[in-house]
Amino acid sequence: SPLHDIPLWADKAARVAHMVVEVPRWTNAKMEISLSEPLNPIKQDVKKGALRYVSNVFPHHGYIWNYGALPQTWEDPRHVDPDTGARGDNDPIDVIEIGERVAARGDVIKVKILGTLALIDEGETDWKLLAI
């Protein structure tokens, strides 16, 4: 399982984490780790019965960076975050890797966290970590 079997830290002393790539750079399909299926496969996200895609923003195609999640993390929907006042989104913590590499879906890459953004998406806390 990309959620349960990969350690969060690649090197805790150096603060280097593992990231599971769900959406590689320059791709459009909105993919995510499935929390409801055995072994947590990475599957295309569905909203209102339709597969989800990100739009192109000229001159770029798809996501401009690698997008994924930290293994061994989860934003608890029962917990109200003191910074946002909203409950967790029931997903692993998201990571945006802003380096130059083009990863593949499912790759586990080592990242250094640069900072965080707290978003409220449809009334839920959705933390985004910026990494390189």
Residue 96: what pLDDT?
99
Mean residue pLDDT of the chain comes to 97
Q: Does residue 114 lie within any of the structural domains?
A: yes
| Cβ–Cβ < 8 Å for 103, 24 | yes
Q: Does residue 38 lie within any of the structural domains?
A: yes
DSSP 29: B
Report the C-alpha gap between 31 and 43 in whole angstroms. 5
Report the C-alpha gap between 100 and 52 in whole angstroms. 25
Q: Does residue 63 lie within any of the structural domains?
A: yes
Report the C-alpha gap between 75 and 79 in whole angstroms. 8
Percent of the chain with pLDDT over 70: 100
CATH of the domain at 104: 3.90.80.10
Q: Does residue 4 lie within any of the structural domains?
A: no
Residue 105: what pLDDT?
98
Q: Which residue range(s) make up the domain with 26?
A: 9-131
Residue 129: pLDDT band by 50, 70, 90 thresholds?
very high
CA separation (Å) from 53 to 17, 75, 94, 109?
A: 27, 23, 17, 23
**Which tens digit of pLDDT belongs to each residue from 66-123?**
999 999 999 999 999 999 999 999 999 999 999 999 999 999 999 999 999 999 999 9
Residue 79: what pLDDT?
98
